[in-house]
Amino acid sequence: MPRDCIGEKYRYDLLQMSHHEIHRAHRIGWLRAAVLGANDGIVSTASLIIGVAAASTSQANILLAGVAGLVAGAMSMAAGEYVSVSSQSDIEKADLELERISIENDYEFEKEELAKIYEGRGLEAELSKQVAEQLMEHDALGAHARDEIGILVNASARPVQAALYSAATFTIGAALPLLVAWAIPGIQLIPAVAASSLVFLALLGAIAASAGGASIRIGAFRVTFWGAMAMALTAGVGRLFGLDS
């Protein structure tokens, strides 16, 4: 093979390799719900356990409060996610229906509107019209949903998915400090739950940041910081009411 051909093939292979990017936008929906659920599970249950333990109560009462917090929190997370994401889904469906009616009633106007959007993004006027025309012929509603309304297929609202992820990850997150409280009773319970929960939170922040392509150090720090604040405040409340009782 001639040297020029080898060089061209090498450059082509490099170009192909450089375009195999790993995009993470499709993870937005489940990643948000999973991280939120696990984070709330760890923070709320650990804080609850520490607050109750700081009031100098028995281990049985501490575990009872922790289990009750786990069940109530998991159901609350599932219901909250389902309601909020369902509201988002309803808005998306309403916007898509309006757009569908508009396309049916005034196809040419919608095509011109789409062309103006592309022209505003930097395409030449004639090219914008050609792109709009071809996209409208292929999938008119999809083109307007994506480029006019801003609804993406990989980021559309999925209420059931969000609810299940939140409930499941909350349960897993809440079980971690609860198991530590069960395994280590007595005066070591509070420091053990606090230290282990901070480690869990740091790992969660790091994993979430890695899955989302963000800085692992920053992701771990911000989750750990707010978790420590929550546990410190509830420990203070528990100690205050424990001393008064």
User: Under a CB-based contact definition with an 8 Å cutoff, are residues 135 and 157 in contact?
Assistant: no
Position 238 scores a pLDDT of 80
Of 18-32, 106-120, 177-191, 197-211, the one with minimum mean pLDDT is 18-32
Provide the greatest CA pair distance for the chain.
Answer: 90
pLDDT > 90 fraction of the chain, expressed in percent and rounded: 22
Span of 16-25, 112-121, 155-164, 188-197 with lowest mean pLDDT: 16-25
- Burial tier of 175 (Cβ tally within 10 Å: 0-12, 13-18, 19+): middle
205 close to 223: Cβ distance less than 8 angstroms: yes
Q: What's the residue count for the chain?
A: 245
User: For residues 42 and 70, is the Cβ–Cβ distance under 8 A?
Assistant: no
Residue 54: pLDDT over 60: yes
Can you tell me the distance from the alpha carbon of 220 to that of 132, in angstroms, rounded to the nearest whole number? 44
Is residue 114's pLDDT more than 60? yes
First to last CA, the chain: 89
Cβ neighbour number for residue 228 with a 10 Å cutoff: 15
Structure tokens that stand for 164 in this block: 């299940």
Average of per-residue pLDDT across 210-231: 84
Report residue 151 as tokens: 């609804």
Mean local confidence (pLDDT), 38-55? 90
Instruction: Give CA–CA dist 215/195, Å, rounded.
Output: 23
> How many angstroms separate the CA atoms of 156 and 164, rounded?
16
With a cut of 80, say whether residue 86 has pLDDT above it.
yes
The answer to whether the pTM exceeds 0.85 is no
Residues 6+ apart with CB under 8 A from 17: none
Maximum average pLDDT range among 26-40, 51-65, 202-216: 51-65
The residues, any chain, with a CB within 8 Å of residue 2's CB and separated by 6 or more, are none
User: Which of 145, 136, 131, 132 is CA-nearest to residue 99?
Assistant: 145
The three-state DSSP-derived secondary structure of 46-105 is HHHHHHHHHCCCCHHHHHHHHHHHHHHHHHHHHHHHHHHHHHHHHHHHHHHHHHHHHHHH
Least-confidence region, from 130-144, 166-180, 192-206: 130-144
At 23, is the pLDDT very low, low, confident or very high (cuts 50, 70, 90)?
very low
